[in-house]
Structure formats: C-alpha cells, structure tokens
Amino acid sequence: MTNPIFQTWQAPFGMPKFNDIHDHHYSEAFAQAFDEHASEVDKIANNPASPTFDNTIVAMETSGHQLTKTTDLFYNLAASDTNPARQEIEQAASIQWSAHNSFIYGHTGLFQRIKLIFDNLATLDLELDQRLLVKQVFSDFIRGGANLNAEGQLQIAAINQRLASLETQFGQNILAETNRFALILTQQTELSGLPEPVLRAAANEAGERGHPGKYAFSISRSSFTPFMQFADNRELRETLFNAYTQCASSDDTAGNTNIALEISSLRRQRAQILGFASHAHYMLEDRMAGNPDAVHRLLDEIWQPARKKAEQEAADLQALIHQQGENFDLEPWDWWYYTEKLRAARFKLNESEIKPYFELETVRDGAFMVANTLFGITFRPAPELPTYHPDVTCFEVNDSDGSLIGIFMTDYFMRPSKRGGAWMSQFRGQSNLASHVRPIVVNCCNFPKSSPCLLGLDEVTTLFHEFGHALHGLLSQVRYPSQAGTNVKRDFVELPSQIFEHWAMEPAVLRQYAKHVDSNEHIPEHLIQKILAASTFNQGFQTCEYLAAAYLDLAWHAATDSTSLTPDALERIEMARIGLPKTITARYKSTYFQHIFAGEHYSAGYYAYIWAEVLDADGFEAFKDNGIFDPATALSLRRNILERGGSGEPMALYESFRGRRPSVEALLANRGLAGV
C-alpha cells in the first residue's frame, strides 16, 4: 500500500493527489490490482454458500476497488495528458486487461453461480435495478464467451488480446500524426481572410510547436475548421484538407490502414465464434436498436431528405462561386469557405461578428446558469483542489439544499499530449451501496488556446454537449457502480448531452450569458434573430457528412464475410452506394475514425448520435410546450433520466419522462429537413 495510487487520498473530497503519482506507479498499481481482483473473483466463485444476489452479484460489484481506482486515474491521463512512458503503459495495460477479462469470463465456477441466479430470477425478491443488474452481468458473461468450450474461449481470449493492442495503437498513431503535421505560415497572402482570433490561436500554436513569430494550423478539428472557413488561399485550403482526410492513411507501422483491416476482421471472427452473423449484430444485440436493420432504417429515413438538401446547398455555393467571377467546380475544401460567405450574405451573419460574445469562460458560466435554473445546483470554483495540468479548473458542485453532489473538472484547451475531440469522463463514479460515493467528473475539449479564447457556434454547442454528459455523471443517484451515470446503452448515452445542447441557442438563455468580451454588453437582439434564422443553414451538409460516417461504420462492421478491400476502396464503394455528393466527404474516414477503431464502445454504434437525437429533439419539445425552464419538466428530466443511469430500461425511462414514445418528426424539423 505504499503506492500513492492505493493510499487513501487526503486531498479535499478524496481527490487524487496528482503530483504524488509518477508514471512508474501506474505499472506497479496495475500489476497488483489485477492480482488482487483475480483473488477476489476466486473467493466469490469458491464461496461454499449457495449463490445469492448478495454473495455473488453484489460481491462482484464491490470487488476490484483498486483496479477501478487505477483504471479511472490512468486512462484519463492517457487521453488528456499522455507521454511516451504512459503510451507504453497503455499498450501493456490493454493486453493485461484483455487477459484479465478472459480470466473472469472464462471462470467456470463464477459463471455457474451467476447462471443459477439468472435461471431463478423470476423467483427472487429483487427490485428493478437488481433484476437488470443480474441480466446485464449474465449477458456480459455470455457475450464474453462463458458458454463456449475451452477451445472457443482460447480463441476469444487470443482475439481480444490482439484487438486490445491494435485499438490502442490506432489511437496513438492518430495523435502522433496530428502532432507531426502543421501548416506553418508567415506571408500575408497566406493569411488573407483569417480573423484576428483565429490568427491569435494559430500564433500560440506555432509558438508551442517551436515556430515563434509564425502561424500554425493543424489537423485538429478546432484548428482545421476555422482555417477552412476563412482562408482566402484556395491552394492552402486544399493542402490542409488533404492532410486532414489522409491522417494516418499509410500502410506502414505508423499508419492505420492495415490496423483498421485487421481490427474489423478480428471483430467479425469473434462475433461468429460467439454465434452472431457480424460484429454489428453482436454489438447491437445489447443496444436499443437491437440489430443493423433497425439502424439502417433510421439512417435511410433521414438520408434522402438530407442528401436532397445538401444538393440544394451545393448548387447555391456553386452559384456564389460563379457570381464572384470564378469558373472552378465546387470541391470539398471549398464548402466551409463559401458556406461562410453565403451565411454572411444571406443572414448578414458571420462568425467574426458573433465570436466576441462567446468567450470560453462566459459560455461555461452560461452552461452553469442553465443547470442552476433547471436543477438548482451550483458550481463553486475550487482552486485549492489538485489537478493534473495547469489548464484544468475544478468546481465544487452542490445541490439546492447545500449538500455536495460531486466535483466537476474542466480541461478545455488542445495540446500535443491530448487526443483530439471532446469527451466526458470520470475519476470516480457515483454509487450508493455501503456509503454514498460522490462522483469526480471531467469535461475535455480541444479549443485553441488563446487569450481571450473565443468560441464559434459549433464550439459553444460542443461545450454544452459535454456538459450534458457531465450532468448525467454528476446527478446520478443509483445503488450499483456499473449502473451509474453514463453506464447506459450506447444509443441512449447521447440523450442527456444532446438535449442540453438546445439551451445553448435559446434566445432567453443567450440574453443572459452571451456578453461581449470587451464591453460586457449583452448580445444584441438582432444578432440573436440572425442566429435563429441561420439555425438550419448548412444542415444538409452537416447531416450528410455525419450519416456518411455512420454508414461507413456499418459497412465495416455489418459485413458477414471477410474483405480484402483497402479502407479507401471500401469507402468509395459505400459512399457510391448511398450516393454521397462528390463535394462532401464523410466526417471521418477509416484511418482516423477513432470512435470505431481506437476502442470498441462506438463500433457499429456511431449511429447513436442520430438515434439519440430522435429522443432529444422529441424530449425538448416538452420544454418548448411547458417553458424551457419549467420546474416540473426539469424535475422529470432529472428524476427519470439523469439520476437513473442504467438502473432502468432506456425506453421505459424516456417514456416516464415524456409520457409517450418519441417521434422522428421533431428531429427533421430541427435540422430543416421536414418537407424537403
């Protein structure tokens, strides 16, 4: 217990003492924690008493405390502040985890106890969350290969171990490629069109990359997008676009071409050993969707109006190009640039005009304000708490009665040690067994670091989105750790995050939090009206690029036969099948599609965002009908969704909140696709 990871952390609220923990402690902690958990599992399996819910299911829930503690701490830092030593540990730990899971799911004695409880579930006096826990544990063991013979279990173990290594390497290759590439600019002709906030962030990025006095643009989305929106130099836009879409596309050891192929092949093999037609069938059996056909039906229902609107948008952009005296055909690297010009012309709205009203801390405080108005919770800055990086800020979260809810951490700026994208995670999850364990939740983003840091509308939405996930983790009120917070079915987890996005651009909310960074004046009414008028602008493009990625995910994972196609060839075939306009590319191509290849949770599950959008669009209609801050509706959302985690069936939870099943019409209306 001399390892500081295992010691009881004496910092306030039991926060990790980050400065006391060094990289070698993680390797030592993993080795010891895996051994301890294995011993605990053996003890549960060898218990001479007859299997009961408490001595088997609850015992499993409470086992592995040190392993959970080590895992939550390490993987947060591996994602947000990595280094070569941590990347080596991550590779080793992924293989250790695979072997450990194989040990657990292949433990005959433990499985027999769980199976006996499951088989007699109807006769047991258990509450709903307990019955669901038994069903989930039993399902996890079946899906882990517990019903297979010894040969089958060995095959699954070998596949899982190889996948663990490949998935880790996939993500590390993307980070390396993102850090390797930079478009370094110095000439005014190269910088033409770029607003001052974008240049300020690029100058900061250049300085961090060792190019002081210059400007650097990377293939991180927060750097890539503003350059594509505003840079007048078409040749440079094409250069950056090609770098972005070819990220990690080589077929050598530094690229992800062969890794993607092997991952998809191994996943298909594993699924078929377990009795499923494909990896998608395997993954979706445990989701709200149930099977790939249901996912395709939803995607197809939205695809046709989205493509039709995108084609109209492309024609408008092409007309604008001709109006400006140019004679080239619209290309993908032109879309953002001319969309911004068309937005300014059509709605008299451009991002450089509105960004000063969305300074990062102002937007964050706006999200806090919405949470306070809806749920009565408060966020107190807690600079006394330890953090893992100077960019991290801590807040103590309290309920309306003053009681502690948990700790919220924000880590908003991009840096070379952080993977791309935005996410919510936890250093400690909520539970309420022997004692009430309060959560420690973190939001990570990749906003360009500058002073002041001004956000575009998409980035504002991202901040509200991740904060919605944070509320799901913070407000959780369940008994069992594995049902807490965001431990829900993957196509349900985006509901809290996406429904919270709606408040970001509500006029009544904008009038309160959107203030000019210099004058502190509230955003004027005419800008609010412009934002509303443009709310469905470019939605054909945005919907198509997202849906194209969701279709690509299924093309990889719903296949029942092996493929010798390269990722590039598979993408061309699938995009031709759905008829993706040539001026649009999928949001992610295979070699940098982290959601589906750098881990398994979103594999065959990238559709989850649009599935959950059906729920969130329909659900927000309740607030629009009753008032966006209606106390009764807010309380229903909190009690039936945010507090319940995975302790109820997702659709039943939604119906308890909404009073009925959802409809797709609200989604189509929100995206401007109704009647297209």
Query: Among all residues, which ones are annotated catalytic?
Result: 466
Element housing 405 (H / E): strand 404-413
User: Half-sphere exposure (CA, 13 Å, Cβ side) for 627?
Assistant: 9
Q: List the strands of the sheet with 423-428, edge to edge.
A: 378-381, 393-398, 404-413, 440-447, 423-428
Cβ atoms of 410 and 442 closer than 8 Å: yes
Interatomic CA distance for residues 455 and 361, integer angstroms: 10
DSSP 274-320: TT-SSHHHHHHTTSSS-SHHHHHHHHHHHHHHHHHHHHHHHHHHHHH
Buried b (16+ CB within 10 A) or exposed e, 117-136: bbeeeeeeebeebbebbbeb
Q: Centre a 10 Å sphere on the Cβ of residue 213 and count the other Cβ atoms it contains.
A: 8
Interatomic CA distance for residues 483 and 499, integer angstroms: 21
Q: What is the DSSP letter of 19?
A: G
Cβ atoms of 426 and 334 closer than 8 Å: no
Nearest alpha carbon to residue 266 among 153, 143, 159, 169:
159
Q: Angle formed by the axes of helices 608-626 and 539-557, to 10°?
A: 140
Nearest alpha carbon to residue 84 among 6, 176, 178:
176
Give the amino acid at 345: A
Nearest alpha carbon to residue 500 among 474, 477, 480:
474
Interatomic CA distance for residues 361 and 395, integer angstroms: 13
Q: What is the DSSP letter of 252?
A: S
Interatomic CA distance for residues 474 and 370, integer angstroms: 15
Q: Angle formed by the axes of helices 539-557 and 257-273, to 10°?
A: 60
Query: Tokens 């290309």, residue?
Result: 331
Interatomic CA distance for residues 514 and 531, integer angstroms: 12
Question: If DSSP codes are grouped into helix, strand and coil, which group holds residue 242?
Answer: helix
Cβ atoms of 188 and 215 closer than 8 Å: no
Which is it for strands 183-185 and 215-217: parallel, antiparallel or unpaired? antiparallel
Length of the chain: 676
Question: If DSSP codes are grouped into helix, strand and coil, which group holds residue 24?
Answer: helix
Q: Please, which residues bridge with residue 663 across strands?
A: none
Interatomic CA distance for residues 235 and 451, integer angstroms: 29
Interatomic CA distance for residues 549 and 522, integer angstroms: 38
Query: Tokens 């009795």, residue?
Result: 275
Nearest alpha carbon to residue 274 among 99, 185, 157, 389:
157
Q: What's the distance, CA 236 to chain centroid?
A: 30
Burial class (CB in 10 A: 0-12, 13-18, 19+), 284: buried
